[in-house]
Amino acid sequence: MKSNDSVKGFTLIELMIVVAIVAILAAIAYPSYREQVARSRRGDAQAGLLDTAQWMERQYTLSNAYNVMADGSTALDNSKLPALKNNTAANYTLSFGTATASTSPSATAFSLRLVPTGAMADDRCGTFALTNTGSKTVSGTADTASCWDR
């Protein structure tokens, strides 16, 4: 081998620098990615909750009570609520109740709630709640406006 031949390749220091840069980028990008996924799931959940509230209003229009099915034959309970669409059912459970407690609808009022499950169980917004008056609340550590208005 001649002395003027150059050796090709990477040194260990160069590889460690590249690995450190990739690790720093991943540490910044992954939490942002997770928050965007959670925001998307929250948006789907809110749409499902609003759809269910509209369904409740239609039941009221037909039976003149929130706690009776439109045909008047059966009391309205959690089992009669319409199913959530898309992946929302995998991440939330729909039921009657406030953000903090389960309640049944009365003839003149209802409260719907979405309890996070699965991948959303530790979500900062927690349980979403919506009443017949349009009142929106959350049970998590985040404020209501940042969860509902985004």
- Extents of the domains making up the chain: 12-148
Q: What is the pLDDT of residues 115-126, one digit of tens each?
A: 999 999 999 999
Select the more confidently predicted residue: 49 or 5.
49
Q: Can you tell me whether residue 102 is helix, strand or coil?
A: coil
Select the more confidently predicted residue: 10 or 66.
66
Provide the CATH topology of domain 12-148. Glycoprotein, Type 4 Pilin (3.30.700)
* Cα–Cα separations (whole angstroms), residue 109 to 47, 102, 133: 20, 14, 8
| Residues ≥6 apart with Cβ < 8 Å to 139 | 99, 100, 126, 127, 129
Name the DSSP letter for residue 120: G
Arithmetic mean of pLDDT over the chain: 89
Average pLDDT (31-49) is 93
Percent of the chain with pLDDT over 70: 96
Q: What is the pLDDT of residue 2?
A: 57
Average pLDDT (116-145) is 94
